[in-house]
């Protein structure tokens, strides 16, 4: 009987044991429902990680004034990857939060390089729903190759300044981004309008492609933070890109002051290649 009890207690842990470390950039808050009558808040999070998460919960949520509107504890053993999970919590009082929200999503890392609890800070702004992005075309006759896409804004859209777009694949690698030197609009999203923008491709990918397009606030101002995340798909009827500048090699990485670095997050860096090309990149944490 003791052996059977031990086996049953181990089942939840074994079922989650193959989950690898979670990439925060693949998590997206898709909806927040506040019920001030029943004093509940429901938060939907889409998890683009293949392996899901272990013991996930939303520890707390802050509004744009810094007020804590929600606290929560663990109520799940784990979630499946590539799916949406709703997290349900009680409220102490009716709330009218000021958006955007900062949602502190906590999970337990058993199998990654640094076991323990990890926190992903996610954002939610209902104004993100006023923006629709859609793939337009791939241009392979230029260097670098370009991905064109359309941005349709209803109303004024999200409150962002000097925004840009960055495309990530399903494992969080940067595939393409808007370049300050070639972007047609570095100031804002055009309200009640549809504009065509393009991304510089910096990493090879195959078709069909599925990833996430990040709308990054202050991308062109040097203090970037993700404001909205949109699914972005390219069908296999488009031109396939197998490799980009295969023969070029990276010479050095420098910052805006010319200091040589190995790479850093949340700041602009210049990648200098042996063919004379220079790319401005940023890794979003």
Per DSSP, the residues of 231-267 read EEEE-TTSPPB--SSTT--EEEEE-TT--B-S--BSS
Say which residues have a Cβ less than 8 Å from residue 7's Cβ, sequence separation at least 6: none
What's the confidence (pLDDT) of residue 113? Answer: 63
What's the confidence (pLDDT) of residue 12? Answer: 42
111 versus 76: which is more confidently predicted? 76
Taking all residues of the chain, what is their mean pLDDT, rounded to a whole number? 83
Whether residues 18 and 70 share a domain: the answer is yes
In a domain, 7, yes or no: yes
Say which residues have a Cβ less than 8 Å from residue 54's Cβ, sequence separation at least 6: 16, 19, 77, 78, 107, 108, 109, 110
Whether residues 216 and 118 share a domain: the answer is no
Banded pLDDT at 2 (limits 50, 70, 90): very low
Whether residues 15 and 55 share a domain: the answer is yes
Residue 8 sits at φ, ψ, to 5 deg, of -65, -40
Can you give the residue range of the structural domain that contains 259?
A: 250-281
Count of structural domains within the chain: 3
Whether residues 209 and 96 share a domain: the answer is no
| Residue 42, number of CB atoms within 10 A of its CB | 13
Give 145-185 pLDDT, tens digit per residue.
Answer: 999 999 999 998 998 999 999 999 988 899 999 999 999 89
Q: What's the sign of the alpha-carbon dihedral 207, 211, 215, 216? A: negative
In a domain, 113, yes or no: yes
What's the confidence (pLDDT) of residue 106? Answer: 95
The overall pTM is greater than 0.85? no
In a domain, 241, yes or no: no
Say which residues have a Cβ less than 8 Å from residue 275's Cβ, sequence separation at least 6: 245, 247, 248
Whether residues 51 and 131 share a domain: the answer is no
CATH code where residue 185 lies: 2.60.40
216 versus 141: which is more confidently predicted? 216
102 pLDDT higher than 50: yes
CA 50 – CA 35 distance, rounded (Å): 32
8 pLDDT higher than 60: no
């Amino acid at each position: 009987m003791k052996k059977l009890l031990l086996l049953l207690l181990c089942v939840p842990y074994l079922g989650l044991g193959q989950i690898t470390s979670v990439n925060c950039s693949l998590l997206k808050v898709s909806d927040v429902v506040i019920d001030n009558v029943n004093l509940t808040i429901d938060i939907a999070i889409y998890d683009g990680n293949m392996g899901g998460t272990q013991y996930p919960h939303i520890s707390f949520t802050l509004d744009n004034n810094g007020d804590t509107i929600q606290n929560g504890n663990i109520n799940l053993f784990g979630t499946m990857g590539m799916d949406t999970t709703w997290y349900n919590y009680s409220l102490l009082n009716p709330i009218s939060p000021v958006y955007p929200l900062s949602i502190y999503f906590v999970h337990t890392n058993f199998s990654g390089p640094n076991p323990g609890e990890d926190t992903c800070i996610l954002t939610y702004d209902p104004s993100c729903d006023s923006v629709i992005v859609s793939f337009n075309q791939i241009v392979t006759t230029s260097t670098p190759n370009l991905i064109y896409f359309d941005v349709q804004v209803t109303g004024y859209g999200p409150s962002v300044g000097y925004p840009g777009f960055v495309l990530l694949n399903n494992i969080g690698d940067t595939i393409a981004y808007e370049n300050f030197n070639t972007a047609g609009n570095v100031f804002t999203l055009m309200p009640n309008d549809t504009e065509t923008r393009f991304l510089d491709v910096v990493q090879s990918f195959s078709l069909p492609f599925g990833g996430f397009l990040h709308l990054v606030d202050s991308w062109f101002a040097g203090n970037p933070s993700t404001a909205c995340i949109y699914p972005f798909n390219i069908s296999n009827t488009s031109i396939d890109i197998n490799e980009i500048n295969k023969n070029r090699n990276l010479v050095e990485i420098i910052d805006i002051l010319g200091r040589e670095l190995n790479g850093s997050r949340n700041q602009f860096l210049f990648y200098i290649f042996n063919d004379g090309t220079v790319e401005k990149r940023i890794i979003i944490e």
